[in-house]
């Protein structure tokens, strides 16, 4: 907390040129965070705050929410594995209604979030959210939580990246999310329902969309043209699910350029996989040159590249 106070003093002093604070894993709790948030409340210098692996907990979320209600510059906030729980996540999301549209990228992986937080996420997305990235992997949403998020996603017109890996989502939840992709005006370009490397370490479980979930996404991709990347690794998808997606890519979908489907213990048809890879290359090669940066941004956005390393984003 002493370090957090020193950081706050530096920000307040007005002489710092630092725009990105990456202070992950520094034992900063709610008390220490309060000083940083006070300094950032009216700050006009800092635009990214990465706080993963600090014991912030719900009490710290209160300070962050207060800061977000007045700060008009921060566009990226990382709260991965900070012990938010539902209470803290709901506090953060509620504050975004007062934010002047500056926060664009929110990360809340590994926070023990359940259906209450999922309902809050769905409500925020449905109410005119300005978020472009929302990554909430390694939580406990299940099918019911996925359905709540999907209901909001159907009405959202800003979100481009959604991370829901390792959330205990089965075929029903996957189908609800796939249905949301059919919504007219959807801008979602990246959807991750795969498996995060931290899943086991956090005591969480993967997703299990299965062949039924793959079929639901195949049906959605028949008409969806915004999605560029879909991650479904370790979802128990067999060759039947692969074939459903392959059939759509052959004839109907010319926009998806990345599709991850590998699953533990499941052997696939190499010929079909080669065809799938070829169709994805076909789609990528057809992307107009002026849209290629947008495709790359959906997969690995600039705000992540700016701090990128294996340790920092794992």
Give the domain ranges of the chain: 2-313
Confidence band for 5, pLDDT divided at 50, 70 and 90: very high
DSSP structure class, residue 105: E
Per-residue model confidence as pLDDT tens digits over 194-229: 999 999 999 999 999 999 999 999 999 999 999 999
Contact in structure between 72 and 103 (CB atoms under 8 Å) = no
Distance of CA 165 to the CA centre of its chain: 9
Mean residue pLDDT across the chain: 96
What is the DSSP secondary-structure string of 14-82?
T-----EEE-TTS---HHHHHHHHHHHTT-SS--EEE-TTS--HHHHHHHHHHHHTT-SS--EEE-TTS
Per-residue model confidence as pLDDT tens digits over 44-76: 999 999 999 999 999 999 999 999 999 999 999
pLDDT at residue 268 in the model: 86
Confidence band for 103, pLDDT divided at 50, 70 and 90: very high
Q: Calculate the alpha carbon distances from 253 to 97, 218, 239 in Å.
A: 36, 9, 19
What span, in angstroms and rounded, lies between the C-alpha atoms of 89 and 136?
10
Helix spans in the chain (H): 2-13, 30-40, 57-68, 85-95, 115-126, 142-153, 171-180, 210-221, 239-251, 270-285, 292-299, 302-305, 310-313
**Secondary-structure class of domain 2-313 per CATH:** alpha beta
What span, in angstroms and rounded, lies between the C-alpha atoms of 292 and 254?
14
Structure tokens at 288: 């107009």
Q: What is the pTM of this model?
A: 0.96
């Amino acid at each position: 907390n002493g370090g957090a106070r020193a950081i706050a003093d530096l920000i307040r002093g007005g002489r710092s040129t630092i725009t990105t604070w990456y202070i992950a894993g520094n034992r900063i709790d709610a008390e220490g965070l309060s000083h940083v948030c006070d300094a950032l409340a009216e700050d006009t210098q800092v635009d990214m705050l990465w706080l993963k692996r600090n014991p912030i907990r719900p009490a710290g979320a209160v300070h962050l929410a207060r800061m977000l209600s007045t700060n008009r510059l921060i566009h990226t906030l990382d709260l991965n594995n900070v012990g938010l729980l539902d209470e803290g996540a709901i506090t953060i999301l509620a504050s975004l209604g007062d934010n002047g549209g500056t926060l664009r990228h929110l990360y809340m992986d590994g926070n023990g979030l359940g259906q209450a937080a999922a309902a809050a996420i769905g409500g925020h997305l449905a109410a005119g959210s300005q978020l472009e990235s929302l990554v909430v992997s390694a939580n406990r949403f299940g099918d019911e939580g996925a359905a709540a998020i999907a209901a909001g996603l159907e009405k959202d017109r800003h979100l481009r990246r959604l991370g829901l890996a390792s959330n205990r989502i089965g075929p029903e939840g996957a189908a609800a999310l796939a249905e949301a992709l059919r919504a007219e005006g959807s801008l979602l370009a990246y959807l991750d329902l795969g498996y995060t490397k931290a899943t086991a370490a956090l005591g969480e479980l993967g997703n299990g969309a299965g062949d039924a979930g793959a079929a639901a996404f195949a049906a959605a991709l028949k008409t969806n043209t915004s999605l560029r990347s879909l991650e479904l690794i370790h979802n128990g998808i067999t060759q039947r699910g692969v074939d459903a997606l392959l059939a759509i890519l052959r004839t109907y979908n010319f926009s998806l350029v990345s599709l991850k489907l590998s699953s533990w213990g499941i052997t696939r048809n190499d010929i079909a996989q080669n065809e799938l890879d070829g169709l994805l290359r076909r789609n990528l090669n057809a992307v107009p040159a002026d849209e290629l940066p947008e495709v790359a941004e959906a997969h690995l956005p600039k705000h992540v590249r700016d701090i990128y390393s294996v340790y920092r984003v794992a």
